[in-house]
Amino acid sequence: MSFKEYKTNIEENDTAILYLGFDNMHAIKVVKGQTFQTKFGALRLSNLIGKPYGSRIQCPKGYLYVLYPNPELWTQNLPHRTQILYSTDISLVTLQLDLKPGSVVVESGTGSGSLSHAIIRTVAPEGHLYTFEFHEQRAQIAKEEFVEHGVSDFVTVTHKDVCQDGFGLNGIADAVFLDLPRPWDAITSAKQALKKEGGRLCSFSPCIEQVQKTCELLQQLGFEDITSMECLVKNYDVRTINLPIADLGKNNSALSNTCTALDEKKACKEIEEKADSVKIQTETEDLETKEKSEPMDTDLKEKLTSKEKDKSNKAVDKNKLRTDFDLIGKKEEYSFFFKTGVFPQNMPGHTGYLTFCTLYPS
């Protein structure tokens, strides 16, 4: 199977995503004869072979869907070897580094391969990713995953400590991404890896002190447009609220005033509707009388007729606006309906700061 192109049917040894719910997914390897346990019971993987991706599979106590893997789904289900970047930060990195098919990217470190898969999908088929990892076992596992996922032609994995030894690349990269505890030790080497025409650099750091030290060195080395960002998802709790108007008794002045106001509003509305109707009818009769007395130009007649229709439509729209309150709420005789959107005061989810900068041609 391959992350770079889609295929219709499930084959043996494919990596597939089992979707049991919004927050319940599993990445599996389809091996003939094996069984995978889910909350809906046992799933025989042999039964998946030959079925189309996206199929609904019945289990003993429910059903699930088999999805084709993409970088976003893989990020949510990959085996964690390190802390990873999620789609929120990955999308910002892809945008700010101006990645596109044909781009050459240098990355350190590889980690669990979350960002790597997204970069490969973006730069393929003409581009290439050079990714570096100082931990030998993690580098080897990442290399095996890239082969298994069919994207090994677009990525070169190197076991190397770039903070100490540098990248060893000169003038080949359009962009460099650093996810290191001491990114300032690799910035000089990253500058050498960028093309002579210039390029973009991004550094990911969880602490603001790391960001400050990195920005100071970037400025000294001639990088410009230095910007640090934090990208967080804000989830709103949207609800429909029914706010009743209190009935405090028969002699409640507030309720009486409300009812009186509603009656007056209804009466005014009826008067306006009758006035508009009489006006349109009078204009129509005048037009018919004028047509009988003297011939009228066809174009002028069409313009007048169109004008009457517009007036009539405006009258209908005006009445509609008086009764519909979709943007704010909807008021009935004794209650008021409206939407609320509330977000939590404490927002979990801080991952780190993304620092972007540009190296212009010297």
Domains and CATH numbers, the chain: 15-69 (3.10.330.20), 74-234+349-359 (3.40.50.150), 238-342 (no CATH)
Confidence of residue 320 (pLDDT cuts 50, 70, 90): very low
- The residue to which tokens 């050498």 are assigned: 192
What pTM does this model have? 0.72
Write out pLDDT tens, residues 50-99: 999 999 999 999 999 999 999 999 999 999 999 899 999 999 999 999 99
Over range 139-146, report the average pLDDT: 96
- Stated length of the chain: 362
Six token digits for residue 347: 């927002």
**Stronger pLDDT, 4 or 291, i.e. the higher one:** 4
Task: Please report the DSSP string for 40-66 in residue order.
Answer: TEEEEGGGGTTSBTT-EEEETTEEEEE
Do 139 and 158 form a contact (C-beta atoms < 8 A)?
yes
> What is the Cα–Cα distance from 113 to 74, expressed in whole angstroms?
9
> What is the Cα–Cα distance from 121 to 128, expressed in whole angstroms?
10
Residue type, 92: L
Query: Who contacts 13 (Cβ-Cβ below 8 Å, separation ≥6)?
Result: 1, 29, 30, 31
Q: What pLDDT score does 1 carry?
A: 53
Q: What pLDDT score does 324 carry?
A: 47
Ligand-binding annotation for 317, yes or no, is no
Q: What pLDDT score does 219 carry?
A: 96
Ligand-binding annotation for 216, yes or no, is no
Q: What pLDDT score does 244 carry?
A: 81
Q: How many CB atoms lie within 10 A of CB 269?
A: 14
Phi-psi region of 50 (alpha: psi -120 to 50; beta: other; left: phi over 0): left
Confidence of residue 325 (pLDDT cuts 50, 70, 90): very low
Rounded to 10°, the helix 114-123/87-96 angle is 40
Residue type, 336: F
Ligand-binding annotation for 112, yes or no, is yes
Six token digits for residue 329: 């709420």
Over range 343-352, report the average pLDDT: 72
Ligand-binding annotation for 335, yes or no, is no
Ligand-binding annotation for 297, yes or no, is no
Between CA 11 and CA 18, with CA 16 as vertex, the angle to 5 degrees is: 130
Q: What pLDDT score does 347 carry?
A: 66
Do 42 and 188 form a contact (C-beta atoms < 8 A)?
no
Phi-psi region of 327 (alpha: psi -120 to 50; beta: other; left: phi over 0): alpha
Q: What is the mean pLDDT of the chain?
A: 83
Six token digits for residue 25: 């997914």
- Percent above pLDDT 70 for the chain: 74
pLDDT for 319 beyond 50:
no
Cα dihedral across residues 75, 81, 85, 90: positive or negative: negative
Over range 234-245, report the average pLDDT: 82
Q: What pLDDT score does 6 carry?
A: 85
- Residue 199, CA distances (Å) to 191, 192, 358 in order: 9, 11, 6
Q: What pLDDT score does 292 carry?
A: 52
pLDDT for 191 beyond 90:
yes
pLDDT for 278 beyond 60:
no
Q: What pLDDT score does 362 carry?
A: 76
Element (H, E) at 237: strand 237-244
Burial 159-173, CB ≥16 within 10 A → b, else e: bbbbbeebbebeeeb
- Residue 141, CA distances (Å) to 131, 148, 233 in order: 13, 10, 31
**Stronger pLDDT, 283 or 347, i.e. the higher one:** 347
Ligand-binding annotation for 224, yes or no, is no
Task: Please report the DSSP string for 161-184 in residue order.
Answer: -HHHH-----S-BSEEEE--SSGG
Rounded to 10°, the helix 114-123/136-148 angle is 40
pLDDT for 294 beyond 60:
no
Of 214, 264, 238, 216, the C-alpha closest to 339 is: 238
> What is the Cα–Cα distance from 5 to 228, expressed in whole angstroms?
34
**Stronger pLDDT, 292 or 129, i.e. the higher one:** 129
**Stronger pLDDT, 326 or 358, i.e. the higher one:** 358
**Stronger pLDDT, 275 or 129, i.e. the higher one:** 129
Six token digits for residue 125: 């088929």
Over range 302-306, report the average pLDDT: 58
Confidence of residue 29 (pLDDT cuts 50, 70, 90): very high
Six token digits for residue 52: 């189309």
Ligand-binding annotation for 46, yes or no, is no
First-residue to last-residue Cα distance in the chain: 44
